[in-house]
Amino acid sequence: MEKQELICCLVLVFPAVCLQSPTDCSEVQKLFHLNEIGPIKTVPETPRTGSDLQVCDSLSLTCCTKNMEVRYQTAAQKNVQNLLQMTSSSLKTLISGNVAEFQEILKNLTRQTEYYINSLFNSTYQNIPPEANGLLRELFTDIGLFMLGSELGVEVSVYRFFDGLFPLVYNHLINPGLTGISSVNAECIRSYRRPLNPFGSFPKQLADEVRRSLLPTRVFLQALNLAIEVINTTDHLQCSAQCTQALLKMLYCPHCQGLTQSKPCMGYCLNVMRGCLASVEEIDGQWREFVRSVEEASSRLHGAQEPEQALLAVHLPIINAVMHAQRNGPKLSAQVHKVCGHADRTAGESVSIQQEGSSAGAPRQAARKTFSSQRKEFVTSLRHYRTFYAVLADRLCVSELASSDGMSCWNGADVVKSYTLRVVDSGIKAQAVNPEVIVKGPDPVMHQIIDKLKHVNQLLQGKAILASGMLDVIEKGSGEPDLLSSGDCDDEDGCGASGHGEAGKPMQVAEPQTPDKVNDRRRSSTQMKTVGADLESASGHETRVGLLTLTLLFIIAHLCG
């Protein structure tokens, strides 16, 4: 009777399934080869003593050698990396696919807007030669690249456009009687555009408006590219030596005992994976904030900051700049004569009259989705991944690695009915009491990723822009630093640096003016005058909304007519 009680007590204290030495290693050989861990000859045909093993040591005979242990360790790390990539693949596809869609939509939108504004410009100023089309095309190319993250500053592109436009305006609008000017005179006029300031404050106004209205779109796209970088980094996690040994013990040490079908207990798996992914799961807080910030930034991309409206608004400062130069034509002519001398006329050249609709070919068919509809769908889908990093370890165990409830499982030493050790929480701090993995501290690479997420969250929320006055990290310089304000003065204060004409004066919001003289009297020119007259009675937000509405009506009438 006493012996039976003793046996019952031993069963209660040690509830493990009796672990016997494997009788042969054929199944281990088969899986070792099929899983491409190594050649079959690496695996012994019969069990042996495992005194030389460092992790999968056992008092009984084993099918493993020291060489196999090294190969199993590499395979365990590769298996987990593959699982990480498989688990994050839907999230990565969602973000990268939408980034590609956004870029394509913006490229198409930029091309279409270039065509519309080119037609608008040419129908208003038909004496301007075709060179103006190339200038507009280059300007819109640069604006498109700015939205997609190019380091080229907006001021550089805008001022280069007006530099090239001035000789054309001077020769064909201010002095239409000239049959042509030499290349020397044209270069002189172009080089003195900024000191002469023929276009008033409108070049600076255009640069400011483009940067201000399209910067949120630029930040939005760059934030998504950072999200892809985060996923790529966590997908290629570099495991510590302690983690790699724990993975080996959990996934392949059972094979050494011939238990090739055994899976780790759920609690055991959670301890190992939470320990190995502790630094990755530290991303959780900033990732949740990232998803929320993307959602809020998306909701702010409307009205003047919607790419469609921001691009359509580009034409107003250009038209006003040309009107300003025409209105001050006599003064500009005197200044040009003083600086560049009288124009050398070239014989036999005539002014090329640009015909309506010939500037950029037929407009492309509108994209199936607008930027607005695409980003709304994307944000809705992204919201489902808000807790992705919080439950990453748990997801790997539940879906792939661990044994089902109620089944016998591997606890790291034996096959048992259940795991009896404490299961720790996620995160670095909780791993101090992890019984399976020693976690020494945060991973430096993950720490850098967290810092990047913090910064991009600040950009999405507008905090970094408000703190510095400009996007220091994402827009690394405009290319013309002397045009930027210094000290505590910014664009909203109405001041700027000196030395480049319009940039040295307080920016004033000029009202659209009716041209003093426009050579062409066609219907489209009359419509533009009507637009200018209507806008004179508006101000502030109403001016922008009214402008865009009238512009769209004009485009429709122009294309249909």
Torsion angle of C-alpha atoms 317, 321, 323, 328, degrees rounded to 10: 150
Distance CA 388, CA 382 (A): 10
Per-residue pLDDT at 303: 82
Predicted local distance difference test score (pLDDT) of residue 343: 56
- Compute the distance between CA of residue 411 and CA of residue 420 in angstroms, rounded to an integer: 9
What is d(CA 324, CA 321) in angstroms, rounded to the nearest whole number?
5
- Give the span between the Cα atoms of 233 and 235, in whole angstroms: 5
pLDDT of residue 369: 78
**540-560 and 523-535 helices, crossing angle to 10°:** 170
Please give the chain's pLDDT, 561 residues, in tens.
Answer: 444 444 344 334 444 444 567 788 999 999 999 999 999 999 999 999 988 899 998 888 999 999 999 999 999 999 999 999 999 999 999 999 999 999 999 999 999 999 998 888 888 888 888 888 999 999 999 999 999 998 888 999 999 999 999 998 988 888 876 555 666 677 888 888 888 899 999 999 999 999 999 999 999 999 999 999 999 999 998 899 999 999 999 999 999 999 999 999 999 999 999 999 999 999 999 999 999 999 999 998 888 888 988 998 999 999 999 999 999 999 998 888 888 876 555 443 433 333 333 334 434 444 457 899 999 999 999 999 999 999 999 999 999 999 887 789 999 999 999 999 999 999 999 999 999 999 988 899 999 999 999 999 999 998 765 333 333 343 333 333 333 233 333 333 333 333 334 333 333 333 333 333 333 333 333 333 333 333 333 333 433 444 444 444 444 444 444
Rounded CA-CA distance 47/500 in Å is: 85
H or E segment at 416? strand 415-416
Write down the residue that tokens 């300031």 correspond to.
197
Distance CA 92, CA 95 (A): 5
Residue 224 corresponds to which tokens in the numbers above?
Answer: 């998504």
Residue partners of 321: CB distance under 8 A and separation at least 6: 162, 165, 199, 200, 202, 203, 206
**Per-residue tokens: 218:** 């630029």
Residue matched to tokens 């090239």: 164
Q: Yes or no: say if 146 and 206 are a contact pair by the CB < 8 Å rule.
A: no
Specify the pLDDT at position 470. Answer: 37
Contact yes or no for 486/497 (Cβ under 8 A): yes
Burial code (b: 16+ CB inside 10 Å, e: under 16) for 234-256 equals bbebebbebbbbbbbbbbbbbbb
Record the tokens describing residue 72, joined without a space: 């199993």
Q: Which residues fall within 8 angstroms of residue 39, CB to CB, at 6 or more apart?
A: 33
Phi/psi at 416 (5° precision): -130, 170
Six-digit token string for 372: 């607005």
